Amino acid sequence: RSVIRRFDDPVSAVGGLIALKGSLAPGGAIFKRAAATPELFEVEGRAVVFTSLEDLSQRIDDPDLDVHPNDILVLQNAGPHGAAIPEAGYLPIPKKLARQGVKDMVRISDARMSGTAFGTIVLHVTPEAAIGGPLAAVRNGDRIRLSVAEKRIDLLVDAAEIEMRLADHAPPPAPKRGYAALYRRSVTQASDGCDFDFLLP
């Protein structure tokens, strides 16, 4: 019973995973509540944006990165169309903050992460940035609000401003042939399972 608990004596009174919605993820996002820091369940913070996996790799440990412990790290273009949705959602704590003892902070992306990973991390943001979802509209300094109680993730930017930013969005160039072209043409969003559309009932 220390491993498989009785129904009336659960490890937690609430589920380990929740779905979030809001202006940043109108199609939904996933939050692993059981692996997150409760003190970060109701927060508003400043966005620090990485536009790709390459951008993240190049700048996350830059000692001059403008980032603070109460900021929110945002990774764009790591979803099904942007990067084939790799296990990249577990954004590392910037080295300059880790050296100060920071263990966790809110991180948001359209990527996924391993089931064994932990942290206050919002994953599978849908629609993804690469196809022009609101995640693509986030800029450094924007305010984002996470509310686990309300199951919401919101970009606190005027809707007209978001629409204007997205009007200039260009999707990544589509491969012309082969499996890569088939994948780009047919893969669905995370909310639909990242499946090929022709395999759906």
pTM of the complete model beyond 0.85 = yes
pLDDT in tens, 74-98: 999 999 999 999 999 999 999 999 9
Taking Cα atoms as reference points, which of 139, 140, 104 lies closest to residue 122? 104
SS3 2: coil
Lowest mean pLDDT among 60-64, 112-116, 129-133: 112-116
Query: Among residues 26, 48, 39, 19, which one has the least CA distance to residue 154?
Result: 26
Produce one character per residue of 148-186: b if its CB has 16 or more CB atoms within 10 Å, e if not: beebbbbbebeeeebeebeeeeeeeeeeeeeeeeeebee
**Complete domains list, the chain, with CATH:** 17-195 (3.50.30.80)
98-112 burial string, b = 16+ CB within 10 Å, else e? eeeeeebbbbbbbbb
Between CA 107 and CA 119 the distance in angstroms is 8
23, 162 in Cβ contact below 8 A? yes
Q: Would the pLDDT of 201 be above 90?
A: no
Active-site hit among 2, 23, 109, 114: 114
Q: Residue type at 196?
A: F
pLDDT tens digit sequence for 22-37? 999 999 999 999 999 9
3-state DSSP assignment of residue 46: strand
Model confidence at 131, pLDDT cuts 50, 70, 90, reads: very high
pLDDT digits (tens, 9 = 90+) for 144-187: 999 999 999 999 999 999 999 999 898 888 899 999 999 999 99
pLDDT at 167: 95
In the predicted model, is pLDDT for residue 115 greater than 90? no
Position 2 confidence tier, pLDDT thresholds 50, 70, 90: confident
User: Residue 15: its pLDDT value, please?
Assistant: 86
Instruction: Clarify whether 147 is annotated catalytic.
Output: no
